[in-house]
Structure 1
Amino acid sequence: MRVPDVFDELHRRCRAGQPVALATVVATWRSAPQPPGAAMLVDTAGTVTGSVSGGCVEADLYERARQVLATGVPELVHYGVSDDEAYAVGLTCGGMLDVFVQRIDGDALAQLDAVAVARQAGEPAAIVTCVAADAGDASDPAGRLGRRLVLAGRQVTGSLGDDRLDDAVAADALGLLAAGHSGVLRYGYQGQRRGSGLSVFVAAYATAPRMIVFGAIDFAAAVARIGSFLGYRVTVCDARPVFATGRRFPEAHEVVVRWPHRYLRDEVDAGRVDGRTVVCVLTHDPRFDVPLLALALRQPLAYVGAMGSRRTHDERHKLLREAGLSAEQLDRLASPIGLDLGGRTPEETAVSVAAQIVAARWGGTGRPLAVVDGPIHRAS
């Protein structure tokens, strides 16, 4: 799920010396409408930017944000559903969420500047905030609530109030950042991952996951467009320079003229693909797609799909088996690519491909929600 990003507006307001209240979803349960990291800003004029629930709790949270903005005292708010409170704040989706509300002003500018520089350079960054601090009956005895630790590039700035704790949190936050996830980590006061004490939220500003589309055809233009819409950094690659042009693929972040398998090999060797990367092979030409798929299916990628008819699929499987791929590796290939939506145009086909990628990411079935039991939003 693509999380709405309010960082640029937050940074702009901070640079202009305008304090804001930042409300961030830090934890969710069941069918919550937004994932951890979704955020909403409220400024001194009452202007709202972003969303934490798609409208369910914003009215109540708006008033809390105005109070935090005025007092400077942060607050962790829990929204849940029971028979008594289901309509009190409008959270009728059956989910629960914790939202941390804090005031951000000029004191945070240096930290936000560091994150902005990292983002502009295409490097991952994270802001770690203490969202709960207690020890028995003593609430936040060390005054740590709202303190921040910032990881940007290779730099770690700020402090949660204890060097040992800072080291432990920074190491754990790097793990979340590498996976591209935001989430809560819990510690004892000296940094141990146990006991009562501190809860910190890691807001991960990871680099965008990659979508690599092989085959400079009309279908590739539509897939690139929807991939960019979903938040992927899209590359279109084809060996034919007459077709692989930026003019034909304006939605792609880059267009590469290379033999597909050679390009992918170089990207793998350089560490520029990872477990979030999706690969769409639209060439349906064995000269291109067999060596490419033989390489792609041996990598721990999020998704590998290939276009082609049933006949092309059968012949491709035969050639890939002859290339030494195992049954388990071949089972990872989504071929023919996409879900059965009955579409025909490039745009309709792109929706089919995107739907299958989303289902693969979240463990969806691809079936109509009307005939599926259980929560609508699956756990990350």
Structure 2
Amino acid sequence: MFDIVPELTAWRAQGTRFALATVVDVAGSAPRLPGAALAVSADGEAVGSISGGCVEGAVYELCSEALESGTPVLQRFGYSDEDAFAVGLTCGGIIDVFVHPEPDVDAAVAALAARTPVAVARVVAGPDHRLGATLVHHGGAAPSTGSLGGTPAFETAVRAEVAAMLDSGRGGMLTYGPDGRLCAAGPDTATVFVEAYTPPPRMIVFGAIDFAAAVVKVGKFLGYEVVVCDAREVFATRRRFPDADEVVVDWPHRYLDSIEVDGRTVLCVLTHDAKFDIPLLERALRLPVAYVGAMGSRRTHETRLEKLRALGLTEAELSRLRSPIGLDLGARTPEETAVAVAAEIIAHRRGGSGAPLSVTEGPIHHDGKGSIQSVIRTSPDHHAA
């Protein structure tokens, strides 16, 4: 659904009735993944795609019928070569499509417009009276809206699982019994399809230098929306940073004052020029962002700290600064330095120690957010990147 939100928003604003068809499950070689959607309005207009053309016609008819009957339907489409006139997928896969007449998408659309995380859970199989029941879960402390029409145990279990899925940015199918336990599909179960939308976290790279180009590339590889900002117009150009989502010509601190940041935002300060860095870091270290790293030598770092203390920053605020930026990989080239920066960001986000796995014990994968401050400060051989 999320890929056709602009069209759905326009229809809702115009009061246009529509039915929404969503791929909720796939098997084998399918042309579109779960979440792909096709919507058909009451006046016959169609937007979106669920199969690249293989079954669009049949799904269009299902949407039209659902608008007339008001009844949701779950339909399976599979391989069609055995019957040349059958509707199916020529690729040999199988897709399950849920058609929902007049779905309530207002809460989800509003969240998307505000770039806030949201998950939409719908009952797609089970008791007829519950088909299409919808729960919208918002990230953070915002309350959920809607209900899936089940027992309290069922509702509690689904809400917890949907919250976890939104946190990881993944969707999928869940089948529950009345007691709220995950189980195989049966006569008393309800199957819920969850679509999760988490806007990409933002990485802002301050300083349009050669190292910045490499950091931009690794930031995009990690899934960040990357912005490059520099006050020097001659350096901050699209030609020099083709991989960036946006290139901004402005004083770094002024640009930071003009945008919204959140707990996933990463700030990489690469200018190592006091007239840019100090006013920028004064603001950055007081913001609720995930990471603030600054490039420069140890002497530069100590000078920065003195100037920031003079501006009134506390030791707790200064302790958030990752400087010299990056883990100790012995990096020299811009590309190697970018890997060192990325490694530090990942370790800070996931709670890793930054030590070689060969000399550590315990879990390899970390899900909790932690800090590597103690590891960096107690390593006598640590140097910039």
Answering whether residue 162 of structure 2 is matched by residue 173 of structure 1, we say yes
Q: Please, which moves more after superposition, 27-36 or 155-164?
A: 155-164
2:143 to 146, 150, 155: 155
1:294 to 334, 340, 347: 340
After TM superposition, the structure 1 = structure 2 runs for residues 76-155 of structure 1, keeping only pairs within 5 Å, are 76-81=74-79, 83-85=81-83, 88-104=86-102, 108=104, 112-133=105-126, 140=127, 143-153=129-139, 154-155=142-143
**How far apart in 2 are the matches of 1:8 and 1:86?**
36
Q: 1:43 to 1:117 in 2, by over 3 A?
A: closer
Which runs of 5 or more structure 1 residues have no equivalent in the other structure? 134-139, 274-284, 302-323, 329-380
1:205 to 197, 202, 217: 197
Determine which structure has more spread, i.e. the larger CA radius of gyration.
Answer: 2
**How far apart in 2 are the matches of 1:67 and 1:152?**
32
Deviations 1:322-345 (A, max 9, x none): xx87498xxxxxxxxxxxxxxxxx
Deviations 1:203-248 (A, max 9, x none): 21221355777984799899989x99xx962323679775236897
**In the alignment, what sits opposite 1:42?**
40
2:178 to 168, 174, 189: 189
Normalising by the residue count of structure 1, what TM-score does the alignment of the two structures yield? 0.61
The answer to whether the 8 A contact 1:260-1:288 is kept is: no
After TM superposition, the structure 1 = structure 2 runs for residues 1-380 of structure 1, keeping only pairs within 5 Å, are 5-81=3-79, 83-85=81-83, 88-104=86-102, 108=104, 112-133=105-126, 140=127, 143-153=129-139, 154-162=142-150, 163-195=152-184, 196=186, 197-208=189-200, 216=208, 233-236=225-228, 242-244=234-236, 252-253=245-246, 255=248, 259-260=269-270, 270-271=289-290, 286=332, 292-300=338-346, 326=356
Computed over aligned residues only, the root mean square deviation of the Cα atoms, in angstroms, reads 4.3
The answer to whether the 8 A contact 1:216-1:244 is kept is: yes
**How far apart in 1 are the matches of 2:172 and 2:78?**
19
How far did 1:68 drift?
Answer: 0.6
How far did 1:165 drift?
Answer: 1.9
Q: 1:234 to 1:206 in 2, by over 3 A?
A: same
Deviations 1:147-193 (A, max 9, x none): 00111242201111133322211111122212222211111123221
**How far apart in 2 are the matches of 1:24 and 1:156?**
22
**How far apart in 2 are the matches of 1:326 and 1:241?**
41
Which runs of 5 or more structure 2 residues have no equivalent in the other structure? 253-267, 273-279, 293-330, 348-353, 359-385
Q: 1:83 to 1:248 in 2, by over 3 A?
A: closer
How far did 1:71 drift?
Answer: 0.6
**How far apart in 2 are the matches of 1:222 and 1:298?**
15
Matched residue of 1:40: which SS?
Answer: strand
Q: 1:96 to 1:222 in 2, by over 3 A?
A: farther
The answer to whether the 8 A contact 1:44-1:69 is kept is: yes
Q: Which has the higher contact order (CA 8 A, sep 6+)?
A: 1
The answer to whether the 8 A contact 1:235-1:252 is kept is: yes
Deviations 1:111-144 (A, max 9, x none): x3332332233210111110000xxxxxx16x11
**How far apart in 1 are the matches of 2:216 and 2:106?**
31
**How far apart in 1 are the matches of 2:271 and 2:118?**
31
Q: Give the letter aligned to residue 28 of structure 1.
A: V
The answer to whether the 8 A contact 2:74-2:98 is kept is: yes
Deviations 1:42-78 (A, max 9, x none): 0112111000011111011111111011111111011
Normalising by the residue count of structure 2, what TM-score does the alignment of the two structures yield? 0.60
**Percent of aligned pairs with the same amino acid:** 44
**How far apart in 2 are the matches of 1:40 and 1:49?**
6
**How far apart in 1 are the matches of 2:13 and 2:210?**
43
Q: 1:54 to 1:156 in 2, by over 3 A?
A: same
